[in-house]
Amino acid sequence: MSARGRLPAALALLVLSAAGAARGDAAADATRAELARDRKRLVADSRNLVDLSRRLESALSQLASSSRALADVAARTDVSLEELTRREDAVAETEQEVRTLLERRRLLADRLVERRRSIAALEAELAVRKPADPVSGRWAVLMDPGEQRGVFRMTLDGTIVSGNYTLEGGYSGSLRGTLVDDLLRLERVDSRLGFSGVYYGRVDREGSGIAGTWEATNYTAGSPGGGRWKAVREEEREETP
């Protein structure tokens, strides 16, 4: 099949890969949004717990005071039954308030524990989604025009990227470049052609895809001077000797 005939298939692959990356980004964005909401709820619940604890402390102090006052008047013979009843009612009312506050405090404390569990789970989900760094690893590469396929193996050290590659047609060599934020620049040094191209790309937020353009630096007859390229992260595998 000619390069012209293969081009629609390559474009379709790029579109499908972009759609998959978009779905991944949407899922990660939803997780991050839920995490932000849970963190805000945790702050609000923590403030409510502080306020509730203060109210409970005040109610307990009032209960202790009312109980002492009841005990004092109960031992006196000059206190009327009405006064004794009034003080007993005050103690009972304060006891009920304390019970209510204790129950509310228990429910709020349980909710705080669940909030923390939810936040931990969401953080773990995002950590799993995101690789150790955005580019280190093995990448399946598709280059256009020509739908040339291959593999890039890259390692990130700070902002410096190094690695090697193999491409259809028996091409192989080394990669060197930089990663600044999500912008990748790679120089391709071929074992036969020497410094043969520069690749510019943007790494997606999940570290699972790269897309961009490339330009040739070593021109040969009939070879394209540039085009587009895309890479998809692959699972690490043992290389055969």
Q: Is the pLDDT of residue 99 over 70?
A: yes
Give the least confident one: 1-5, 46-50, 82-86, 93-97: 1-5
* 213 and 156 in a common domain: yes
Q: What is the domain-level CATH number for residue 174?
A: 2.40.128.120
Look at residues 210, 16, 38 and name the one whose alpha carbon lies nearest to residue 125. Answer: 38
Is 12 a domain residue? no
Q: Tell me how far CA of residue 223 lies from CA of 14, 217, 220, 227, in angstroms.
A: 22, 11, 6, 11
Which of 16 and 175 is assigned the larger pLDDT?
A: 175
Domain span at 136: 132-234
In whole angstroms, give the CA distance from residue 85 to residue 162: 86
User: Is residue 123 domain-shared with residue 137, that is, in the same domain?
Assistant: no
For 182, the token pair is 């999500």
Q: Are 126 and 225 in contact (CB under 8 A)?
A: no
Range 9-28 average pLDDT = 51
Domain's final residue, options 129, 149, 178: 129
User: Has residue 20 been placed in a domain?
Assistant: no
Which of 49 and 126 is assigned the larger pLDDT? 49
- 55-68 confidence digits (pLDDT tens): 999 999 999 988 88
Asked if residue 23 belongs to a domain, the reply is no
| Selection from 192, 199, 198 nearest residue 220 by Cα | 192
**Lowest mean pLDDT segment, chosen from 20-34, 61-75, 187-201, 204-218:** 20-34
pLDDT (average), residues 6-25: 47
Residue 31 pLDDT level (bands cut at 50, 70, 90): confident
Tell whether 124 is covered by a domain.
yes
User: Partners of 197 in the beta sheet?
Assistant: 188, 216
> Which structure tokens are listed for 130?
């995101």
Examine the fold and report which residue of 112, 129, 146 is the final residue of a domain before the chain moves on.
129
The domain total for the chain is: 2
Q: pLDDT class for 173, splitting at 50, 70, 90?
A: very high
Last residue of a domain, one of 79, 104, 129: 129
